Amino acid sequence: MIKDIEFSGDLKKKFDDQGYLISKEFLDKKVITNLAYKFKNLFCGKFETGIEPDEWNWRQGRDSEDITRQICNAWKSDNDIKRLVCHELLGKACAKLMNWSGARLLQDNILWKPPGGKTLAYHQDAAYDDWIVPQTMVTCWMPLDDVSKEKGTLEFVKGSHRWGLKPPTGQFHSPDDYKKELKDLSKKEKKKIEIQYVEVPAGGVSFHHGLTWHGSGINTSLNHRRAVVAHCIPSNSKFHPSNVGGTARIYKRYKKLNSNELDESFFPILWTKEGIRTNV
C-alpha cells in the first residue's frame, strides 16, 4: 500500500533545510484507484461506517462547484481512508523526519479541487493546533491525480519553517489573494520568498514541517485534483490544559474528564520506536 522510505542522511538534511520533502513514489496504484472512487460518496454524505466526519465544508447540491472541497477526519467515516492515514509506515516516516520517538494521527483531510477550484490561503498547519502540547506537527500530502502548478497544486516556501509560529488571520477558504498573509509577513520581516510547487504523478507524496508556509492556487486545468492528507503529532502529545478557541471547539469534545491524555480511539498512535501502535 505504502512505500517504506528510508530517510538517508541526505534526504533528512534536505527536509531539515527546506522544511519539506517531495517524492514521486509512495502509494500503490490500486490504492489510488480505490480511494479516488470513494471521494464522490464521501462528499455526497454516504459514509461507509455510518459516522459523520468532524468537519465537512462542501456538500453536493448545497455549495458552489468551484470551491475546493474538504472533509476532516474521513478515516472515521471510511475504512479505506483509515487504512491509509493510520498506516504504520506513514507514522514511521513522519516520526523519523521530525526526530520523534513516535507519531500519532491528529486528523486527516480529504481535499478535492475541481476544474476552476478556488484557492486555499497560505498558512502554517501548526498554527491551528494550539490546543495540543507540544504545538508541533508534520503533514503527509498524497495526491490521487497527477499534480502540477496548472492544477493548483500544493506550494511551499523554502526554509519558512525557520520563521517562527504566526497565529492565523484572514480567510482560509477561497480568499481573493491567497498569498496576502505571506506577502504581508515578507514585507514586515524582510523574508525572502522562494516557492516550490509540488509536481508529482498520482501516488507521489510530499511531507512538510508544521511551521512551513504553504497554500494553493486556482485549478486552471480541465482536470480534477484530489489528495488525502495526514497530519501527525508526537505520540506523547497531550491536550493543552486551557486553550479552547479555534479548532479546539471541534476537537476538544474528545477530551476525557479530568485528564489531558489523548484518547487513542480518536487520535490513534501509528508508530513508536518501542513498537506500540493503536489497533484501529
The CATH number of whichever domain residue 210 belongs to comes to: 2.60.120.620
Q: Is residue 4 part of a domain?
A: no
Which residue is listed with cell 453536493? 60
Is residue 274 included in any domain, yes or no? no
Q: What are the DSSP E strand ranges found in 114-224?
A: 120-123, 132-133, 138-143, 154-157, 195-197, 205-209, 214-216
**How far apart (Å, rounded) are the C-alpha atoms in residues 210 and 222?**
31
- Are the CB atoms for 239 and 147 separated by under 8 Å? no
What is the per-residue pLDDT for 77?
A: 98
- Say yes or no to pLDDT of 6 above 90: no
Q: Average the pLDDT over 8-13 and give the result.
A: 90
Q: Hey, what amino acid is at 245?
A: G
What confidence tens digit (pLDDT) does each residue in 105-156 have? Answer: 999 999 999 999 999 999 999 999 999 999 999 999 999 999 999 999 999 9
Average pLDDT score, the chain? 95
CA distance 36 to 26: 16
Q: At what angle do helices 9-18 and 88-98 cross, to 10 degrees?
A: 70
For residue 208, the 8-state DSSP code is E
Query: What one-character DSSP code corresponds to residue 161?
Result: G
Asked if the structure places residue 122 within a domain, the reply is yes
Cell reading at 22 = 517531495
Question: What pLDDT does residue 118 have?
Answer: 93
Tell me, yes or no, whether 157 lies in a domain: yes
- Does residue 2 belong to any structural domain of this protein? no
278: in domain: no
Structural domain for 167, as ranges: 9-263
Placement of cell 477550484 in the chain: 117
Q: What percent of the chain has pLDDT over 70?
A: 100
Residue-wise pLDDT for 217-273, tens only, equals 999 999 999 999 999 999 999 999 998 888 999 999 999 999 999 999 999 999 999
Residue 26 has pLDDT above 80, yes or no: yes
Cis ω before 115 (30° cut-off from 0): no
pLDDT at position 1 is 82
Domains contained in the chain, number:
1
Which pLDDT does position 54 carry in this prediction?
97
Q: What does the DSSP assignment read for 72-135?
A: E-GGGT-HHHHHHHT-HHHHHHHHHHHT-SEEEEEEEEEEEE-TT---EEEE-GGGG-TTEES-
> pLDDT (tens digit, 9 = 90+) per residue, 62-102?
888 888 999 999 999 999 999 999 999 999 999 999 999 99
